[in-house]
Amino acid sequence: MLTLDQSGFSTSFATTRREMLTAGSVLTLGAAASGLSSPVMGSESGSLAGSFGSAKRCILIYLWGSPSQLDTFDPKPDAPAEVRGELGSISTVIPGVRFGEVLPLTAARADRFVTLRSLTHDQPIHGTAFATSAVPVTDLPLESRVRDPRHWPYVGAVVDYLASQKSEATPTIPRNFGLPFKFGSKRGASRPGFQGAFLGQAYDTVWADFQAKGTQEVLRDSGAAGPKPMVADPYLGIRPTDRFELGRQNADVTLDRLQRRLSLLDQFDSLNRISPSPGGSYLANQDLARSCLVTPHLRNALDVQQESAATRDRYGMTLFGQSCLAARRVIEAGGTFVTVIWDEYGHVNTGWDTHVHQTPRLRDELGPGFDHGYSSLLDDLAERGLLDDTAVVVVSEHGRTPHIDKVQGGGRNHWPFAYSALLAGAGFAPGRVIGRTDAIAGHVTETPFSPKDLVTTLYHVLGIAPNEELHDSLGRPYPVGGIGLIRPELLV
């Protein structure tokens, strides 16, 4: 049974497809009645017709663990010290709008993107699947099991799937590609998020890999009892010679030798009459792997060493900075949807999950790393004439508690009731600030957004109608956008 609390969000996951569609109708009517789609700060609502399909490609930046809204995009300089913390705020290029002091380069470019300050939901868990797909509700089991049958496909998977329905040609650049390594793989088992779900594993994100260790070792403290290891985290710094990889490769296997091996494989497959698996995942993945191995396009795109030292330094010689640079190169080489993750590395409660040591990590690691990578990506795309038709989205799963915990280095816990996102490029209204929170950035007071609305609006700018139907392996239809709304406040 699907139940809705007063905020309109589900509190139970025992739902049928019919109930999900009913919920979508309820939420749509509720949004219209409460004025959720009304413009904010005097800006006019965007044109849905004019923005549909304005993005030919997308770079989605996912900050796992969730930045503190108070220390990044929604600071409250007049709040008590136990709320605002040790870090201050600075003016942006937009009069009256402030960002956290750790983001000076981003603040100087605030007129290039939408600052969305009013994302809200009711699940204080690391809901990556909830943040990046149209799945209507979530819970801990869903966010713990990669192949939970309740998952909906990632946005990049939907883009890939719909493109594949229009063309049988195997792309030389995966349409749904991720950097710098498979999500969750550097801390333990892979986590949900970025999968093809009911579309089939053929549409899972294709990940690069990065094997090099970081140049700096740092004590990683999860806040729990037990060992506190020293970790050489590449998000702090890497060497200019460190490379992105396409899986483990044998340097002794030349292209000619590889072609002979593939020809032999084809013969064996023909003899054994291998047929496609459900969703076509076996043959589709085989064809894509072959295309990536025998053509140079993806390898060249990942070769950031071809860039000048000045360009690489501008992005920052960190794993995040160089991933942003590689994402730009993949897009230039013909990529369609590229995901860049800032993930945990080597230990729990890392990435942006700042339960402890928040102040030094934001000041010395997270803030500067994001600031250089993101600002340079926007600059680079604009200079190359790509920003006008490339959507660039920065999102996470929730916010962080308004009050600072009295732990080593300060810390904030999970808080889903108010958090922020950035949306730049094709279709999105540059310089617009949307939504307000209360005096401690704890609750949304104006223009609340569901994460489902953000996902659905991204589909819109990518030219995918939210009521377009997807079908699972049993042929059951699902609307692409689920219960999400297209939000014209975000659009030009």
Residue ranges covered by each domain of the chain: 17-252+297-490
As a residue count, the chain comes to 492
18-55 confidence digits (pLDDT tens): 444 444 433 333 333 333 333 333 334 556 888 999 99
The one-digit pLDDT tens for each residue of the chain (492 residues) are: 333 333 333 333 334 444 444 444 333 333 333 333 333 333 345 568 889 999 999 999 999 999 999 999 999 999 999 999 999 999 999 999 999 999 999 999 999 999 999 999 999 999 999 999 999 999 999 999 999 999 999 999 999 999 999 988 889 999 999 999 999 999 877 789 999 999 999 999 999 999 999 999 999 988 888 888 999 999 999 999 999 999 665 556 555 654 565 566 556 666 655 554 444 555 566 565 656 665 789 999 999 999 999 999 999 999 999 999 999 999 999 999 999 999 999 988 889 999 999 999 999 999 999 999 999 999 999 999 999 999 999 999 999 999 999 999 999 999 999 999 999 999 999 999 999 999 999 999 999 999 999 999 999 999 999 999 999 999 999 999 999 999 999 999
pLDDT number for residue 1: 32
For 34, half-sphere exposure in the C-beta direction (CA atoms, 13 angstrom radius) is 15
411-429 confidence digits (pLDDT tens): 999 999 999 999 999 999 9
Reported as type and span, the H/E element at residue 165 is helix 155-166
- Say if strands 206-207 and 176-179 run parallel, antiparallel, or are unpaired: parallel
The DSSP annotation for 67-90 comes to --GGGTTS--TTS-HHHH-S--EE
Using the Cα atoms of residue 226, residue 227, residue 228 and residue 229 in order, give the sign of their dihedral.
Answer: negative
- DSSP bridge pairs for 57: 390
Reading the block at residue 354, the tokens are: 């700042």
Decide: 279 and 252 in contact? Cβ < 8 Å.
no
Write the CATH number of the domain with boundaries 17-252+297-490.
Answer: 3.40.720
94-113 confidence digits (pLDDT tens): 999 999 999 999 999 999 99
SS3 category, 393: strand
Burial code (b: 16+ CB inside 10 Å, e: under 16) for 44-53 equals eebeeeebbb
Reading the block at residue 238, the tokens are: 């890497």
430-459 confidence digits (pLDDT tens): 999 999 999 999 999 999 999 999 999 999
Please give the torsion angle defined by the CA atoms of residues 310, 312, 313 and 315, in that order, rounded to the nearest 10 degrees.
Answer: 130
